[in-house]
């Protein structure tokens, strides 16, 4: 069964304290791995798409990487405005739906 697991469930950082969020997937024929940011009560906001192992994408303090079994979202020197829930999703391609993980809730304290 296709599955996406994110860890940790919650992460508390001090401002400036770099860390990584993990997304492990078991998806046959992965066609894409996606990262979204979600603020409370709002719709997920698209961040990155990764298509093949070894690929990296960057945006401001965020960098996403992909291996054959997992993806990481690295956050460098985070700020309080980076506080949000980060969602990972896999697209198997064989069916018309994304498979979402349950998310990592990130809190960055000043």
Which residues of this protein are in contact with other proteins, per CB under 8 A? 31-32, 34, 36, 41-46, 49, 87, 89, 91, 96-98, 100-103
For other proteins, which is the closer residue by CB, 31 or 109? Answer: 31
Residue 8: strand, helix, or coil:
coil
* Beta carbon nearer to other proteins, 42 or 68: 42
Residue 76 or 100: which CB sits closer to other proteins? Answer: 100
CB of 64 to other proteins, least distance (A): 13
Q: What is the nearest approach in angstroms of other proteins to the Cβ of residue 42?
A: 6
- Between 17 and 39, CB nearer to other proteins: 39
CB of 54 to other proteins, least distance (A): 19
What is the DSSP annotation of 29-88?
A: T--EEEEEEE-TTS--EEEEEE-STT-EEEETTEEEEE-SSEEEEEE-S--GGG-EEEEE
Please state, in angstroms and rounded to a whole number, the distance separating the CA atoms of residues 63 and 52: 15
| Cα dihedral 96/7/62/19 (nearest 10) | -170
């Amino acid at each position: 069964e296709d599955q996406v697991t994110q860890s940790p469930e919650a992460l508390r950082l001090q401002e400036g304290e770099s860390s990584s969020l993990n997304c492990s997937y078991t998806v046959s024929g992965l066609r894409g791995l996606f990262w979204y940011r979600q603020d409370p009560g709002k719709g997920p906001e698209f961040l990155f798409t990764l298509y093949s192992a070894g690929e990296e994408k960057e945006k401001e303090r965020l960098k996403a990487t992909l291996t054959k079994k997992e993806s990481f979202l690295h956050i460098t020197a985070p700020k309080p405005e980076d506080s949000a829930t980060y969602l990972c999703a896999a697209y198997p391609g064989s069916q018309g739906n994304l498979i979402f993980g349950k998310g990592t809730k990130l809190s960055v304290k000043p």
